[in-house]
Amino acid sequence: MPHEPTSARHGSRLQLILRNLPHLLAARDAGSLHRAGDRMGIAQSALSRRIAEVEAELGGPLFERLSTGIRCTSAGADFLTDAAHLMASLDRAIRRFELNRAGEDMTLRIGFNSAAMMFPAMASALSGFRRTHPRCDLRLAAHLTEAQYTFVQEGEIDIGIAYLLRDDLPLQHRVLAEDRIVLALPADHPLALRPLHLSDLDGAPLIDMQRESSGLLAAQVDRRLLEAGIRPDPVMEAGSSEAALNLVAAGLGLAFINRSQSGRCPPNVVMREVHGFHLPLPVAAFWREDAETPLILAFVMGLEEAFSATGAMPKPDRPA
């Protein structure tokens, strides 16, 4: 029997491995053929055969079979790490192709935080993009700033619109506007009736930002307070600006809030600038450079134009 040509042999080998990569990765992540089979919707015996085929093709085991499940061999762990990167790159390539299809129906996934939506420019940018790209389906989803960093990097959303809290963010970005941190306090609080200085907050009851969801911003606030030698009394954490404002309204403490939330203040809550405390919050659009397409750039350009024209926010209330 004649030997299969080298190129054909290589092609069939790659085809076999690529076809089974999702199953191999599922087995690695599950640590069990039974659990991996359930996740992939195939029988354990069928999954075992697929893994054995790839191992035979590679010439060595990817997994050790244990009484409690499976675990990667050293060579298998390296192979599957590279394979996972390959699958992620393939997913990005498919997504980029979809976004580049000129004249066809498209979907653009946009993440935003609550502050971004408080800028009038956001509504202007979205309506303008719909007019110029009527066949593009805009999918909007609200996410906290730090979650958006992860979602953009992992390809779950195409563009994030939120605060730029890291100098080393490995994403392309355009700064659109600037928000800043102010203090929310009850309207009848003594500090609301006069100019507010940073030293006034030493020992004051403070409703803190939730570290789990807003750790970067909370750390910046903490650092500025520490540098000034100010130690408020943290009484609780709030998971959102809305929650913090409601807790302030209930008289449970004071809270640092982004200025753009001034329109959401309960009637008995005011926002005040704190002299000696300056924490600018750039609002930016960000996306992956390796996923950049004309559609993404068109959306970002529309954002820049809209924010340039209408991006100003009203100033917070000040004492009379």
Q: Is residue 4 scored above 70 in pLDDT?
A: no
Helix (H) or strand (E) holding 215: helix 211-227
Distance of alpha carbon 113 from alpha carbon 214, whole angstroms: 12
Banded pLDDT at 2 (limits 50, 70, 90) = low
Supply the mean pLDDT for the chain. Answer: 87
- Enclosing H/E stretch for 108: strand 106-112
Which uninterrupted H or E stretch holds 288?
none
How do residues 279-306 score in pLDDT, each as one tens digit? 889 999 999 998 888 889 999 999 999 9
Instruction: Name the residue type at position 144.
Output: L
Residue 77's pLDDT band (boundaries 50, 70, 90)?
very high
Q: What percentage of the chain exceeds 90 in pLDDT?
A: 57
Average pLDDT over residues 41-55: 90
Looking at the predicted structure, is the pLDDT value of residue 67 above 50? Answer: yes
Tokens of 151: 């979602």
Task: State the Cα angle at 109 between 38 and 238, rounded to 5°.
Answer: 85
Check whether 47 has a pLDDT greater than 50. yes
CA–CA separation, 230 and 201 (whole Å)? 7
**Among candidate residues 180, 208, 184, the one with its CA nearest the CA of residue 196:** 184
In the chain the domains, ranked by start, together with CATH numbers, are 6-96 (1.10.10.10), 105-177+281-310 (3.40.190.10), 180-279 (3.40.190.10)
Average confidence (pLDDT) over 85-97: 78
Q: Determine the Cα–Cα distance for residues 252 and 16; give it in Å rounded to an integer.
A: 62
- Dihedral angle over CA of 126, 317, 177, 200, nearest 10: -140
pLDDT at 107: 85
Q: Is the pLDDT of residue 163 over 90?
A: yes
How many Cα atoms within 13 Å fall on the side-chain side of residue 116?
31
pLDDT at residue 93 in the model: 76
> Could you tell me what percent of the chain has a pLDDT over 70?
92
DSSP lists the bridge partners of residue 284 as: 162, 175
Q: What is the pLDDT of residue 315?
A: 41
Judge whether residue 320 has pLDDT over 50: no
Among 56-60, 104-108, 112-116, which is the least confidently predicted range?
A: 104-108
